[in-house]
Structure formats: C-alpha cells, structure tokens
Amino acid sequence: MSTVRRLIVITLFEGVDLLDVTGPPEVFALVQRETDDVTGYQVVLAAGTMDPVTTSAGVRILPDMTFHEAAKRSIDTLLVPGSVEVDSRRRVHALVDPVVVDWVRKLAGKSRRVTSVCVGAHILAAAGLLDGKRATTHWSTAQQLAADHPLVEVDADPIFIREGDVWTGAGISACLDLSLALVADDFGEAIALRVARQLVMYLKRPSGQSQFSVPLEPVSTTRRIEDLRHFITRNIGKQLTVTDLAAHAHVSERQLTRIFKTELGTTPSVYIESARVELARNQLESTDVTLDRIATVCGFGTTDTLIRAFRRRLNTTPTEYRLRFRSSGEA
C-alpha cells in the first residue's frame, strides 16, 4: 500500500477566518485515525511568508510553508478560506487581497481539486476559477459576489456546491460539511460516516440543504421593517396578506413592497413563506407533530401548501426533511 498521503494546502493571510482554517483539518485528521485502510491526508498551511498570521479571532497561526514552496509541490486539494470586514452599520463585506488571488491562481494550476470555504469563494472568483460555474458562499456576502463577478452563477442557498473539480462551501460550520463531502468523495461514504460520528455530526448534510434561516437575516436599519418582522412572527399562524402588512405599517401596498425589497432584498409574500418554512423546519426537527398540525400552526392552511413551499424553498418534502434531520434523544 502506498504511504503517500493526499496533500491539502490551506492558504493563510492576515485576517483570515479562524474556523475556516482549523475546522477542515479536524475532519481530515480523523480519516487516518478511523481506518487503517487508507493513507489519509497531509494538511499544510501556506502563506506569503513564514511569519505568524493573525486570524480574525486574534489567534496567531504559524504557516508550514510559503506559497512559493507550495507551488513546487503536487497538490491534491487547495483549500481557500476567506476574510471579512464589518462596517459601522454591521454590513459584512468580503475582503480580497490581490497578492493572495495571484498565488491562488498559481496554486490552483498545481492542484487536482480546488475548494473554498465561506467567503473564500470571493478569492476563487477573483482568480477567475468560478467563471461560468455555479457557486455558493456565506449568505451575507452572496449579493457582493454576484455583483463583483457577473460570470459566476451565485446560489446562496446550498451549504456546498460541486462543479467538477471546484467546490465552494457556505458559511462558518458548513466548512465541516464540505470537508466530510470531500472525504466521502475520496474514500467512500462508510469512512466519512465514521468520521461524522466522531464529530457528532449528521453525515453528511446534503449539498442542497439550505443555509437560509429567517432569524439570521441582516437586522434592518429601520424601526418600521423590524416592527413588521415581529408582526409577522406573532401572527405567523394567521392569514397574512400584503394588504394586512401595509395596513399595520400605515403605508400603501406599493410602498410596503418597496420597503421589503430595499431592506430585506425580497418581497413580503416570499418573506412570509420563508418565515413559515423556518418555523415548520423547527417543528419537524424537534417534535412528532403531524404535518396537518404543522401546516395549521405555521399558517400554510393545508398540508399540500406546506409540501409545495418545502419543494420551492428546500427542494425536498417535509417528510423527507424530518427523516434526515429529526433530533433523537437516544444516546
């Protein structure tokens, strides 16, 4: 059996998100521990110099090699994390260092597979590696990615997307889901399952699962829209129309639609359905309540309407969702 491990190079740079860097190696390290049948991975951290890199969390990390040294190696997987800045209005903006972009472009040419985690997709896009491809990133910077790179088909919903030998992952903890998917692709589902069990994770959250969560949407800058959001939450089980919301906000229906589009980037009806799906997801994950009851409590009215909303929003059915993500009290 070959003793050569698959080389994974993770790029480092100032301000990089800490979990993006440390999460995937935890997954890859468990492959070697959980089986004697594979050689596993060798994970190295590469940066512009050998100086310590300060992450977004303030924790400093030492590189294993420079980008120049990494470019001399045959790389199995290039993994590119990201970095963001938050302005005074709490808006998140992905940062892209042109020097890092140049090195990623060079290293990608030496790699069998290229991946990004979270807002690292912005770096891949700047390097031209996502042109003509479908890609995801953290939901908070998806609009920026689409605006900056019109040749990229941005889909902010899935937790990860594979396009040939290019993989992109969504935000924060989704780096673990992406890493498990890479393990499954390399060594099979059985080994990935053993790793997932050690991590106390679901194997593996399907790539199509939504990263969307209504409560995680950006906080609005206006009191009026925040009041409307709370009104929707309080009355989620009732019939809610644009007319109802406009009357509550004391504005015209046209103005209400404009407010939702400006503040939340969607329409009132789509937001209401999203809020209802989110509540239904929580019910399916944590209770044994019937679909009829969930449809009533969440304001869908009928089970058929609930099913259609799930297919539209999550590309699955409520029953399939419950089977995948139902919490278990068993040890």
Question: Smallest Cα–Cα separation from 81: which of 131, 130, 13?
Answer: 13
Please name the fold of domain 6-198. Rossmann fold (3.40.50)
- Per residue in 192-240, pLDDT (tens digit) is 888 887 886 654 444 445 554 444 344 444 677 778 888 998 899 999 9
Contact 107, 75 (CB under 8 A): yes
Please report, for the chain, the start and end positions of each structural domain, with discontinuous segments joined by +.
6-198, 214-325
118 catalytic residue (yes or no): yes
Q: What is the mean pLDDT of residues 37-47?
A: 87
Contact 76, 114 (CB under 8 A): no
- Per residue in 269-299, pLDDT (tens digit) is 999 998 999 899 888 888 889 999 999 999 9
Contact 140, 171 (CB under 8 A): yes
**Taking 60 as the threshold, does the pLDDT of residue 114 lie above it?**
yes
Contact 53, 72 (CB under 8 A): no
Question: Smallest Cα–Cα separation from 4: which of 73, 70, 56, 68?
Answer: 73
pLDDT band for 301, please (50, 70, 90 cuts). very high
Q: Looking at residue 3, what is its pLDDT?
A: 57
Rounded to whole angstroms, what are the CA distances from 108 to 80, 160, 167? 10, 19, 12
Residues 6+ apart with CB under 8 A from 323: none
Q: Looking at residue 204, what is its pLDDT?
A: 43
Given the candidates 1.10.10.60, 3.40.50.300, 1.20.1300.10, 1.10.3720.10, the CATH classification of the domain at 214-325 is 1.10.10.60
Whole-angstrom distance, CA of residue 86 vs CA of residue 101: 21
**Residue of 118, 126, 159, 170 marked catalytic:** 118
Hey, how many other C-beta atoms are within 10 angstroms of the C-beta on 109?
12
